[in-house]
Amino acid sequence: MALLEVKNINSYYGNIHALKDISFEVHEGEIVSLIGANGAGKSTTLRTVSGLMNSRTGSITYNGEDISRASADELPNKGIALVPEGRGVFASLTVSENLELGAYTRKANKAMRDDMEAMYELFPRLGERKKQLAGTMSGGEQQMLAIGRALMSKPKLLLLDEPSMGLAPVLVDGVFETIQRVQKEGITVVLVEQNAHMALQIAERGYVLQSGEIVIADSAENLRNDPAVQRTYLGI
Ligand code: ATP
């Protein structure tokens, strides 16, 4: 059974038909990448899965449960966390305060403090900067913090929207390493990326979106070797 199964969803912004019969599945432990050009519908897919918007038709099943109509605030408790595009860390709060906020669904207690320590072990850079204001960290560090904050809700499934966006090339590798480290912790990842090259390097499988539709679904390896994908998305 897939951990996440999305079947024939159709999402709209008013009259704009942004997702057209999108179907995909994600198995436990996988990194699955959704790639595509600007406006293809990648973010809308994550917004729909995470309950920020509802699809008009189709179904979304997570861990055997129908979450098609669940709202965004219910999903962290079910084990789904979203890191939105643009990171959204609280610039005027410190690293440790941002992490605490990520555990907002849970009580502040010893378990939470232990989890913060675990986060600092996973991401030593955050541990060195506990008291630094998030807004003064580099883009790559802020992305790491945004991911760390999402992990504080103890998700089984992490949805990442364009984590490499706006980062200097030298920082991009670090972000993708972070994502692989998250996978090693046993967390399943759906990764939306314009950087198809990196996204297909670390993923098991991928889907290509175009104008709101999934046009190719395959293993990441086959996608990397697909001439059409290479031409359009990998610049080869
Ligand atoms: P990008 O990489 O540029 O973020 P994307 O693949 O994530 O692109 P979406 O943001 O999902 O694409 O957009 C899909 C379509 O929906 C686009 O045509 C976009 O213009 C439209 N759209 C997105 N957000 C809204 C909105 N709030 N109101 C109206 N239309 C929207």
Instruction: Give residue-wise pLDDT tens across range 159-192.
Output: 999 999 888 888 888 889 999 999 999 999 999 9
Check whether 131 has a pLDDT greater than 70: yes
Measure 44 CA to ligand 1 centroid, in angstroms: 6
State the Cα–Cα distance between residues 104 and 46, nearest whole angstrom: 21
More confident residue, 35 or 107: 35
pLDDT at 108: 61
Local structure of 208: helix, strand or coil = strand
pLDDT at 33: 97
Quote the distance between the C-alpha of residue 7 and its chain's center: 19
Q: Is 16 exposed, middle or buried (0-12, 13-18, 19+ CB in 10 A)?
A: exposed
With the most atoms of ligand 1 within 8 angstroms of its CB, the residue from 10, 15, 22, 44 to mutate is: 44
pLDDT at 165: 87
Helix and strand counts by DSSP (H, E) for the chain:
10, 10
For residue 116 and ligand 1, the question of a CB distance below 6 A is answered with no
Check whether 124 has a pLDDT greater than 80: yes
Atom of ligand 1 nearest to the CA of 192: 7
DSSP letter (8 states) at residue 156: S
pLDDT at 109: 73
Tokens of 160: 């990442």
Local structure of 58: helix, strand or coil = strand
pLDDT at 210: 95
pLDDT at 110: 76
pLDDT at 107: 62
pLDDT at 55: 94
Local structure of 10: helix, strand or coil = strand
For residue 13 and ligand 1, the question of a CB distance below 6 A is answered with yes
For 191-206, the pLDDT digits (tens) are 999 899 999 999 999 9
pLDDT at 105: 62
pLDDT at 20: 97
For residue 40 and ligand 1, the question of a CB distance below 6 A is answered with yes
Indicate the average pLDDT of the chain.
91
State the Cα–Cα distance between residues 53 and 228, nearest whole angstrom: 32
Give 104's pLDDT tier (boundaries 50, 70, 90).
low
pLDDT at 171: 83
- The single-letter code of the amino acid at 171 is L
What share of the chain has pLDDT > 70, as a percent? 97
State the Cα–Cα distance between residues 62 and 26, nearest whole angstrom: 10
Dihedral angle, C-alpha 80, 86, 91, 93, nearest 10 °: 0
pLDDT at 236: 64
Average pLDDT of 34-39?
92
